[in-house]
Structure 1
Amino acid sequence: METLQEAELCFPQLFNASCKKHMHPHTEAMLIYILLSSISLFTVVLNLLVIVSISHFRQLYSPTNLLILSLAVSDFLMGLVVMPFQILLTEPCWLLGDLVCVLYYFLPFIAICASVVNMVLISVDCYVAICDPLHYSTRITQKRVQICVLLCWIYCVFYSLIILSDNLKQPGRYNSCYGECVINIFGALDLVLSFILPISTIVILYVRVFVVAVSQARAMRSHITAVKLQRSVTVTVKKSELKAARTLGVVVAVFLMCYCPSYCLSLSGSDLMIGSSANFFIYFLVLFNSCLNPVIYAFLYPWFRKSVKLIVTLDILQPHSCQTNVL
């Protein structure tokens, strides 16, 4: 009886101080491992294709694509580091210690924060492109976007340090027993800075973009008195802008659907803890969003499909391949 009881503990030598093992059925555990491993692989590969495409082909050097590149880097980190570590959280016990438990959450907080801030920047870029196209080239320059991206990542690192500061000072202080991985964050601060402010900004900007896009579409249909050549150029430009806004709108909509449940959990004041099926599913949605973004690009961006073909066939290794026409 004693041997059976010890087998149910994470650390039998600690007895009363040890957590009990939260065993998953073998079929469920295998399904989780296969699912997470597959999504991790696809996320890394697909986002790496986005990173290589935008970094290699000079035609893709634009402020908007630089923001997409920054988003792809955060998604790449999610697939390369965060998802494999998530598999560890499905184990019956946390065996890597209290400090590693806190550090494990550090990179996800940076990557998730970067995704949110990048989405805000993408929304601002789309807003200026649609609502103020005449001043877009002067307001949204390559150098300004580079500075914004750099500040975005610096902000996310410091933000994550502040959010986890209490846990870093005394790792494991919120664990009820050994073998548990529980952290506590400043819920109100995180909710305002990571959810309410950025999501409100994104929604307001895209509502404005939608209204302007609809009015532009109506204007293009009714504008039949202009000179044919001038009309043709105008319509082409506006159609290009509207298509870009539509694509980025899909990306933002998917982002909101995947991230909102996670922040609703934060709104309830719950701790992040292993062994919770609901918590795992909500966190899984956040991870899955990193895999969905490149899929959206593949369906809606012709340049991405052309770039992938050139990468897979190794044509990018040819001299001057960076100057290839992919648009």
Structure 2
Amino acid sequence: MSRVLIVGAGLTGSLCACLLRREMRNKVQISVWDKARGPGGRMSTTRPPDASSHSADLGAQYITATPAYAQAHHSLYSELLSAGVLQPLDALLEGLKQKEDSKNYVTPLGMNSVVKHFLSESGADLFFERHVIGLYCRGASWEVERMAGGSETFDAVVLTMPVPQILELQGDLRRLLSVQQKQQLDQVVYSSRFAVALFFSPDVALSFPWAARYVSDNPCIRYIAVDARKRNIDIPGCGPSLVVHTSVPFGLQHLEQDKEDIQPIVLHELHRLIPGLPQPNSIKCHKWRYSQVLTSVPDCPGHMTVLDRPLLVCGGDAFSHSNFDGCVESALSMLRVLKACL
């Protein structure tokens, strides 16, 4: 039985684990490691400290399917809709610009429920707060080193974290990359932004009509959403949550500042946009250093194979494009490589 390690419990990693289990059944032992405390990656859903408010999506907000991808990935969309993980978006998103023939979907339980679904289907051994810092080629296997100390050996390793984090790994990876591969990886560019979630008490009612709003005339804020309204859910006894995303230029300008310094700036601008906003019970601010891929790896079909034996393959939206279907395309392409090698 081959031991496969997937590094990263985001959408690409979780779907890759799920598809690999379905294709190879009991022929593989799958482990998924992530340095965070829970699954989701950039499909992150956070909860208030006292559970008195709705949860809030700090990363991806909804899924947009073009007609071509709705057809190409029909089985996955159908699976998620049948399981109740996805449902059509049926709320006012003020300022949204998109093609008329595209469809939007939301997640009643939060965006990380998509990742949780695929991880559950994968039957993988899940380990969180496992930060990979080194990869060492040991004959027919990989020794994977953790920041907390210790290492484990695997027959194949799949890396799905952002490209800059891949390039920071110690050990044999950079030595094994060809000159062309290094040049390709160096071309990847990400946008950066801050996200702030405000959690309100159950007696608070937010009176504005929209579920989400795109802001075009503010130097700091680009997007605001009432999460429960966006998801079309109402949990009795739960107060509303409000999610704010900064613009890409603002994120780039303040990238090296601590989120604690940025939170007051975002809140000040929010109160200018929504005067009289009630006082929240709690606030959470998050810095997305790697938010969306602006420039992906050129000439890569969803993945990059660094070594065939033992297999080391890199994937994620940086190797396709930065949305749900881009992650699906990457997972499918890595699945073909894994099947061929294992």
Give the TM-score, by structure 2 length.
Answer: 0.25
- Greater strand proportion: 2
- Structure with the higher helix share, 1 or 2: 1
TM-score (norm 1): 0.26
Q: Which has the larger radius of gyration?
A: 1
